[in-house]
Amino acid sequence: MRSWNNNAYSDAQVSNKTKRITRHFSDLDLFFTRKPSTSDVNIIHDVVAIKRSVRNLILLNHHEKPFHPEIGGGVRGMLFQPLTIVVAQVLSQKIRMVIDTYEPRVELEDVMVVPKYSQNAFDVNILFNIINAPRDVQTIELMLERLR
In a domain, 4, yes or no: no
87 part of a folded domain: yes
Domain count, the chain: 1
Mean pLDDT over 65-78 rounds to: 85
Structural domain span for residue 63: 21-31+41-145
Residue 9 placed within a domain: no
Question: Is the model's pLDDT at 123 over the cut of 80?
Answer: yes
Is 11 within the bounds of a domain? no
Please report, for the domain that includes residue 81, its CATH number.
Answer: 3.10.450.40
Mean pLDDT for the chain overall? 80
12 lies in some domain: no
The answer to whether residue 7 sits within a structural domain is: no
Please tell me the predicted confidence (pLDDT) of residue 73. Answer: 82
Residues 6+ apart with CB under 8 A from 122: 79, 83, 88, 91, 113, 114, 115, 116, 143, 144, 145
- What stretches of the chain adopt beta strand conformation (E)? 26-28, 43-45, 106-116, 121-130, 138-145
What pLDDT does residue 26 have? Answer: 65
Residue 1 covered by a domain? no
9-59 pLDDT tens trace? 334 444 444 445 456 666 666 666 777 888 777 776 678 888 888 998 998
Q: Please determine, for residue 95, whether its predicted confidence score (pLDDT) is greater than 60.
A: yes
Does 15 map to a domain? Answer: no
Q: Which residues contact 13 (CB under 8 A, 6 or more apart)?
A: none
Give the pLDDT mean for 1-5: 48
Quick one: pLDDT at residue 22? Answer: 57
